[in-house]
């Protein structure tokens, strides 16, 4: 089995909730994590020693570390604006890239927060990186790019 290097991912998001074409945000995204969690509960009954479990729905989100950039078309600008407006955004995450045979996850999300939207560190030579979170607002579809 071939492992996929961690730098091999693509992130596309609507520039606005009304957008019909997704914008590739990859060039301004430093870190990207797709999170998926299934709600489940484990329990015991008094008649057995072995546990039982039930499952519920699932949740998903995308965490992004984005370079702070003041240009009008930067991922930082689009995501900071999204936190300050209402509406759902289409989010697509690909690995290792968006070519044929790659894995694609897609769904609608609310851009929930922008932590460290501006941060300074005297004498530092490191770039500012803001943390954004897209909270899934519906199903997450997994497919293979055809």
For each of the domains in the chain, give its residue range(s) and CATH number, in order of start: 10-39+51-144 (2.40.30)
pLDDT at 6: 79
Other residues' Cβ atoms within 10 Å of the Cβ of residue 67: 15
For tokens 């961690």, the residue is 6
Distances from the Cα of 118 to the Cα of 65, 67, 73, 81, 122, angstroms: 12, 10, 18, 14, 13
Task: Name the pTM for this structure.
Answer: 0.87
The rounded distance, in Å, linking the Cα atoms of 38 and 51 is 18
pLDDT tens for 11-51 read 999 988 888 899 999 999 999 999 999 999 999 899 888 99
pLDDT at 18: 86
Tokens of 15: 């520039």
pLDDT tens for 109-145 read 999 988 888 887 778 888 999 999 999 999 999 999 9
1 confidence band (pLDDT: 50, 70, 90): low
pLDDT tens for 97-109 read 999 999 999 999 9
């Amino acid at each position: 089995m071939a492992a996929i290097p961690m730098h091999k991912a693509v992130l596309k998001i609507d520039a606005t909730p009304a957008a019909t074409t997704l914008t590739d945000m990859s060039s301004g995204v430093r870190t990207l994590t797709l999170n998926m969690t299934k709600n489940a509960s484990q329990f015991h009954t008094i008649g057995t020693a072995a546990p039982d479990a039930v499952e519920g729905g699932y949740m998903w989100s995308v965490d992004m570390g984005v370079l702070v950039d003041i240009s009008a078309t930067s991922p930082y600008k689009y995501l900071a604006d999204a936190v300050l407006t209402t509406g759902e955004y289409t989010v697509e995450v690909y690995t290792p890239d968006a070519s044929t045979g790659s894995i694609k996850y897609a769904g609608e999300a609310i851009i929930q927060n922008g932590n460290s939207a501006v941060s300074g560190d005297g004498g530092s030579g490191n770039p500012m990186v803001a943390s954004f979170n897209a909270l899934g607002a519906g199903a997450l579809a997994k497919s293979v790019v055809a």
